[in-house]
Chain A
Amino acid sequence: MTFQKKYIFAAAAILFGALAPFIINPYELSLLGRFLALSILAMGIMLTWGEAGILSLGQGVFFGLGGYALAMHLKLEGLNLANGDMPDFMVWSGVSALPGFWYPFANPYFSLACVVIVPGAFAAAFSWLVFRRRVGGVYFALITQALALAFSTLLISQQAYTGGFNGLTDYSTMFGIDITTEYAARYIYWITFLFVVAVYFFLRWLLASRYGVMLRATRDGENRVRFLGHDPVPYKVVAFGIAGALAGIGGALFTLHAGVVSPALVGVVPSIEMVVWVAVGGRNILWGAIAGTLLVNFAKDQISSAFPSLWLYGLGALFILAVSFLPAGIAGLFRPGSGEERVMRRILSRRKLSTAE
């Protein structure tokens, strides 16, 4: 019997992922869990940026929507709302009663549904408004960046409702279970890992479907697709909506691991960082998005604890290096000549030509 190398590799990765709580120490496990949560968002960027050609510099917004949707519930758990109880930060801000839009989040199921639906629907609606007016490319990237700025500014300015600069933190139970124990951390890790695997296979299927072909067709030649009688807008909107929902799921899981969600995680700089993970890992290969996220974030953890001021420069350098020398990312190196890298180079040079016209 002969096994292809890639199946052995995949099986080893899944096995390690599943058994990690028994292999690495709790600190490393908490880092791995966080970064895997981020890689769910990164797979969404692979879908929009790599496969649909839509660069978003505002994925932090959808990440934040998911994170806050869950954190709002966590802040309310254990409070007696009928008694007029409120989250601590509201009391400190002198709010007299819990704001109306907070109430439904007392229900955990409502909150969990919001984690997916709010960022997914918001991303879909927002991108529909933009794409149907045929705005794309750099303009879309700029609009999403403005959105990230607006969102983080809004969160900071509405201290009494959002926890302001500090965000939402200091929560301890979910479904009545203490989530701060080492034991709970394992389960949160496993849930995250399951999501990563499920999202991976879902996207693999999606990209192999006719939808995936249409999405790449739209990326390659939006006008050609339109003049073959297809409407390119819904294909792009669906991709962006799915990426938004995945960012939301990533945000909620990250919040569970980190015990905090705050504006510092959702603004302009984090949104750009998210794109760098995928650029480094490979934007056209699904596992590249995961690998890039883990690699860059573990590197960040090492570098920023040793030389805190250096990290942003390192990040910038990494982005420039990846884009100019490894257009298909690290994952592209594993498929020499098989297309992705060559094709990305071609697309990049074609873009240059067409903007020069």
Chain B
Amino acid sequence: MNAIPAPILMMENVTVDFDGFKALTDVSLNLTPGDLRILIGPNGAGKSTLCDTIIGRVRPTSGKIIFKDQVITNLPEQEIVRRGICRKFQTPGVLPTLTVFENLLVAGRKNRAWYRSFTTKTPPAETARAEEILTQIGLEDRRNIIAADLAHGEKQWLEIGMVVATDADLLLLDEPTAGMGPTDTQRTAQLILSLLGRHAVLVIDHDMSFVEALNGYVTVLHQGQILAEGTVAEIRADAQVTAVYLGRAEDAEPAHA
């Protein structure tokens, strides 16, 4: 009935304290189902820590995280994933000795009970979905290669594919274009845009050309606090953001500007 759908994820006043160092201070954030959110901020701003907190790798010192109307703040990691949040790590986390296709199958298992693994048969629906994702991430011709042999950019895509394969409603993508050239960066942007609707996506990145290609709602994090929120244009125009971040980022990364 509402014009604005209820948020899929709400972070309420989350603070993370690493032995006296506040990596996040009083952060509140709402994410909309099926929608894109871009999180930017200088190195050490706390972007990865924010993801870590959502998926239970880091526990907040105070504050609450609510996913689909349920508090998930202290659930075990695998339970949080099973509720529908999956995360891509900053350093590619593919499984190196498994083939590309096996990586997708491991990620895409519907029944995750260990005692259901003593079979050589994969349910046809899972195989079909893995094939679909393989095409979506553009790695059809790499299907039976072990993941260790992929190029760096291909590993990033594979990990995005794995996260997608879990069919989570919320995907957290930590620097999916790190180490990519301009062409691959644009491809990655297209890939992420193709995921929206079916998944809500939170993307962390440094690269402004990538952020512009995505053209979504942006949250700027600085020293563990939210500095600004708005569209890409609004963020670009924000004097404070330019001072702490944009100017520096573009100086530091002229190749992507």
> Residues of A with Cβ closer than 8 Å to B?
205-206, 208-211, 213-214, 216-217, 219-221, 223-231, 234-235, 238, 339, 342-343, 346-347, 350
Alpha-carbon distance between A350 and B94 when the two chains are bound, in angstroms: 13
Q: B109 an interface residue at 8 Å Cβ cutoff?
A: yes
Beta-carbon contact of B97 and A220 below 8 Å: yes
B interface residues (Cβ-Cβ under 8 A, vs A): 55, 57, 77-78, 81-82, 86-87, 89, 93-98, 102, 105-107, 109, 112, 114-115, 117-120, 122, 146, 148, 162, 166
* Partner among B86, B106, B117, B118 whose Cβ is within 8 Å of the Cβ of A225: B106
Nearest-neighbor residue (CB-CB) of B56 within chain A: A227
Please, how many angstroms separate the alpha-carbon atoms of A228 and B146 in the complex? 19
Bound-state Cα–Cα, A234 to B106, Å = 15
| CB nearest to A228 among chain B residues | B107
Known contacts A228-B81, A228-B166, A229-B78; is-contact A209 B96 (Cβ 8 Å): no
Are the C-beta atoms of B109 and A230 separated by less than 8 Å? Answer: yes
Nearest opposing residue in chain B for A208, CB measure: B120
- Top 7 nearest A-B pairs (CB, nearest first) are A229-B81, A234-B114, A211-B117, A220-B95, A224-B93, A210-B117, A343-B97
Are A213 and B87 in touch, CB under 8 angstroms?
no
User: Are A210 and B107 in contact (CB-based, < 8 A)?
Assistant: no
Chain B residues, CB < 8 A from A211:
114, 117-118
Given contacts A213-B105, A228-B107, 10 further A-B contacts (CB under 8 A): A210-B120, A211-B117, A216-B98, A217-B98, A221-B96, A224-B93, A229-B86, A231-B78, A235-B117, A339-B146
Known pairs A209-B119, A213-B106, A220-B96; A228 contacts B86 (CB<8 A) = yes
Q: Are A221 and B77 in contact (CB under 8 A)?
A: no
Question: Does A229 lie within 8 Å of B112, measured CB to CB?
Answer: yes
Provide the residues of chain A in CB contact with B57, threshold 8 Å: 227
Q: A228 to B105, alpha carbons, bound, how many Å?
A: 11
Assuming the contacts A214-B106, A347-B97, asked whether A227 and B117 have C-beta atoms less than 8 A apart, the reply is no
Looking at the assembled complex, report how far the CB atom of B181 sits from the nearest CB atom of chain A, in whole angstroms. 24
Between-chain CB contacts (< 8 Å), 17 pairs: A205-B120, A209-B117, A210-B118, A210-B119, A213-B105, A214-B114, A216-B95, A220-B97, A224-B89, A227-B86, A227-B87, A228-B86, A228-B106, A229-B81, A234-B114, A238-B114, A347-B97
B105 partner residues in chain A, CB cutoff 8 A: 210, 213
Residues of A within 8 A of B107 (CB): 228
Q: When the two chains form their complex, are residues B114 and A235 in contact, meaning their CB atoms are under 8 A apart?
A: yes
